[in-house]
Amino acid sequence: MTTIPTHHDSYDRLTQLKQFDESKLGVKGLLDSGVTTIPSFFHQPPENLPVKKPKNTKPRITIPVIDLSKDRSTVVDEVRQSASNLGFFQIVNHGVGVEMIDKLIDSMKSFFESSNEYKMKFYHREAGKGAAYSTNFDLYQSKAASWRDTLQVRMSPVEPDWEAVPEMCREALKNWDKAVVGLGEDLMSILLEGLGVKNDRLKELTCLEGRVYASHYYPKCPQPELTVGLNSHTDPGVLTVLVQNEIGGMLQVKCGEDWADVEPTPGAIVINIGDLLQMLSNDEYRSVEHRVLANSVEGARVSTAVFFNPSNREKNFGPLPELVSAEKPAVYQEFSYADYMKRFFTKELDGKTLTNFYKIGNTNA
Closest CA to 237 of 194, 205, 200, 264: 205
Q: Are strands 301-309 and 210-218 parallel, antiparallel or unpaired?
A: antiparallel
- Look at strands 65-67 and 88-92 and give their pairing: parallel
- Each residue's pLDDT, cut to its tens digit, for the chain (365 residues) gives 445 544 444 458 899 999 999 999 999 999 999 999 999 999 999 999 998 765 555 556 789 999 999 999 999 999 999 999 999 999 999 999 999 999 999 999 999 999 999 999 999 998 777 899 999 988 998 889 999 999 999 999 999 999 999 999 999 999 999 999 999 999 999 999 999 999 999 999 999 999 999 999 999 999 999 999 999 999 999 999 999 999 988 999 999 889 999 988 889 999 999 999 999 999 999 999 999 999 999 999 999 999 999 998 788 999 999 999 999 999 999 998 888 888 877 765 666 677 888 899 875 55
**Which residue spans within the chain are E strands per DSSP?**
65-67, 88-92, 131-134, 149-154, 210-218, 228-233, 239-244, 251-255, 258-261, 269-273, 290-293, 301-309, 316-317, 335-336
What single letter denotes the amino acid at residue 106?
D
Integer Cα distance of 27 and 149 in angstroms: 6
- Would you state the torsion angle of the CA atoms of residues 153, 352, 256, 237, taken in this order, to the nearest 10 degrees? -30
* Confidence (pLDDT) at 113: 98
CB-CB neighbours of 159 under 10 Å: 10
Taking the alpha carbons at both ends of the chain, their separation in whole angstroms is: 47
Rounded Cα distance, 106 and 300, in Å: 12
Q: Are 329 and 356 in contact (CB under 8 A)?
A: no
Note the pLDDT of residue 9. 42
Structural domains in the chain plus CATH codes? 45-358 (2.60.120.330)
Query: Residue 312 has what pLDDT?
Result: 82
